[in-house]
Amino acid sequence: MLFARKVWHLLVAIKDGLVLFFMLLFFIMLYGALTARPSAGLVKDGALLIKLNGSLVEEPAESDPLELLMGGAPIREYRTRDVVRAIKLAAKDDRIKAVVLDLSSFTGGGLVNVEEVAAAMDEARAAKKPVLTYAIAYLDDSLMLAAHASEAWVHPMGGAAIAGPGGNQTYYAGLLERFKVKVHIYKVGTYKDFVEPYLLDRASAPSKEARTALLESVFDNWLANVSKARPKAQYAQVAKDPVTWVKASNGDLAQAALKAGMVDKLGDAVEFGERVKQLAGKDGSSKQPGSYAHSGMGALLAAHPADQDGKAIAVVTVAGTIIDGKAGPGTAGGDRITRLIDEANADDAAALVLRIDSPGGSALASEQVRGAVDRFKAKGKPVAVSFANVAASGGYWIATGGNRIFAQPSSVTGSIGIFAIMPSFEGTLAQYGITSDGVRTTPLSGQPDVMGGFTPETHVLMQGAIESGYRRFIDLVSKARGKTPEQVDAIAQGRAWDGGTARQNGLVDQFGGLDDALAWAAKQAKLETWHARHYGGEADPYASLLERLGGGEEDSAGQGGDMFAQMALREQAKQSRALAQLSWLGEVRGAQALCLDCPVPAGGMRLEKQSNWLLKLATVLGIG
């Protein structure tokens, strides 16, 4: 029996050992699958194929694993600098015979982002590499990319249209009055119109004045860009009189786009692929019609790792709404951005470049980030600020910490103002027989009381705090820009400016992009060799698997479609923004430096996932 027991224990041990071995092997394989990245060996002779199945952004938001596992298909976001770098690499890589941008599911991006990609396309063409675009329907952002292509193709059942920036804003004053909701507004700035949708039923005269000037300037920059790229195309005429343009082609938008010179060829995806095959060669691994030899963007980037020579210049991106906390990437959580700047400071980075693409947000979080910039400068190291599409309100607050500000003519900035919004529901609740009563030891006891109403002393305190915050904002800009507070106040008042006017007003030092800001920082730090180190952009080890769950790099994300589908997608983004504005009342927020006028990219806006007590109250009362 003793021998049999020993044999049994030996067999159990062997079994347990094998189980542990195979479990370890399984997790090693799983880790490999999760962290697998494109291989440099995947680059082959042929075309560089970039399928933009989503929007161009400065900083992609993290994928939600639960949403993907539940079958969700979020719109993808592509880091602009990755797309730009891939196209520039293609211009120099002898294996790449042509650059192809499939824009069938492209949902747009900020104007500066699109301009940067277009400029990279020009570099590829200057290197004698054909650059081709294909789409079912072209709208403003994709039209700019098509303008810079050597060949722009459109589906015969598709077409093109120029919408231009702007459109209607949704106003909620009538709805709030109907339900007896009081909205208490505390603000400084004649043009700080973020609060207007909650107070008025239409835009005020100052709001329309500022918005008209801003959007017309932005559109003029778009028109100048595409017209320079394609001088013979009739962009201005199409934008001014689309009805006559369409009728001249009997409603055929594809033919109309061809006649106007906005596209070069009509054809479906197979015909387009056959054309690329003539330039790049056939795909020996596929028998599908229209297939051609190509490599993906990820493989090309992997084949050309970024230079790491010399001292590091830290690059920290401030993208999205600025909020308190650790949120991001894709949203500028004050704690997270501050930590990244302090980390770069601790790493003894030679200089810092802030890349800002934000309409603003929390004044407290903005000041927190600016404080981290001051700590970096305290070591005698230069700080450059590079504006992308938008650097307004809280975004400009942060920028005051820099030594030099770079922007593009299409960048939107300014909106120097501050406000706070707080609703109260005493009138709403009274309709349902709900009242408030109690005892106060001071005028501020229990205040602000969103259920029972605000005391007069509360209003005075809140407005005083906002005015003090505005004075601090003005003082920061005054010291940073070498102006008197009175001079700053004259160009502040919450008004947003295009980059060109902002430069004339002294809010911007010079035109230029991120590369120009890096070069300036290197010169100030007296560096002969250096490299950019991007903080906060580390790859998520699970991202590779999540990307495959949502479709591969070259798979369509399902947002494509004809002209009607593309326009509907833009409208859907506008509806999402309207709902976000209404629910904004129910969020717990402090003083805000946020811009309403700033154009929202066609890709839409990210909604903050927070618990909204206003919606819960509406549900309880049956008014949701």
**336, 328 in Cβ contact below 8 A?**
yes
| Active-site annotation holder among 207, 393, 415, 544 | 393
DSSP per-residue string spanning 370-412: HHHHHHHHTTT--EEEEEEEEEETHHHHHHTTSSEEEE-TT-E
User: What is the three-class DSSP state of 363?
Assistant: helix
DSSP string, 486-498: HHHHHH-TT-EEE
Helix (H) or strand (E) holding 228: helix 205-229
Beta strand 360-362 pairing with 592-594: antiparallel
User: Exposed, middle or buried by CB within 10 Å (0-12, 13-18, 19+), for 13?
Assistant: exposed
Q: What are phi and psi of 551, to 5 degrees?
A: 110, 145
Per-residue tokens: 351: 């200089």
SS3 sequence of 263-279: CCEECCHHHHHHHHHHH
Structure tokens at 430: 């009274």
Q: Report the candidate in 124, 172, 165, 116 with the shortest Cα–Cα distance to residue 145.
A: 116
Residue with tokens 């229990």: 446
Q: What is the CA radius of gyration of the chain?
A: 27
Three-class SS state of 573: helix
In the chain, what is the straight-line distance between the N-terminal and C-terminal CA atoms, in Å?
75
The answer to whether residue 192 is catalytic is yes
Kind plus residue range of the DSSP H or E element containing 551: none
What token pair was written down for 324?
């308190």
Strand order in the sheet with 76-79: 76-79, 54-57, 108-109
C-alpha distances in angstroms, 6 versus 10, 428, 470, 498, 604?
A: 6, 79, 82, 83, 68
Q: What distance in Å separates the CA atoms of residue 299 and residue 41, rounded to the nearest whole number?
A: 8
Report d(CA 468, CA 463) in Å as an integer: 9
Cα 313 to chain center, whole Å?
23
With 0-12 CB in 10 A as exposed, 13-18 as middle and 19+ as buried, what is 218?
buried
Output the six-digit token pair for 57.
């952004």
294 closest CA partner among 554, 120, 37, 52: 554
For residue 532, count other CB atoms closer than 10 A to its CB: 20
Look at the block and give the residue holding tokens 């949902």.
107
Omega before 448 cis (within 30°)? Answer: yes
What residues are paired with 507 via a beta bridge?
none
Q: 265 catalytic, yes or no?
A: no
> Please, are residues 382 and 351 in contact by the beta-carbon 8 Å criterion?
yes
Question: Angle 614-495-373 (CA atoms, 0-180°, nearest 5)?
Answer: 80
CA–CA dist 276, 271 (Å, integer): 9
Q: Which of 97, 129, 187, 192 is catalytic?
A: 192
- The residues annotated as belonging to the active site are 192, 393
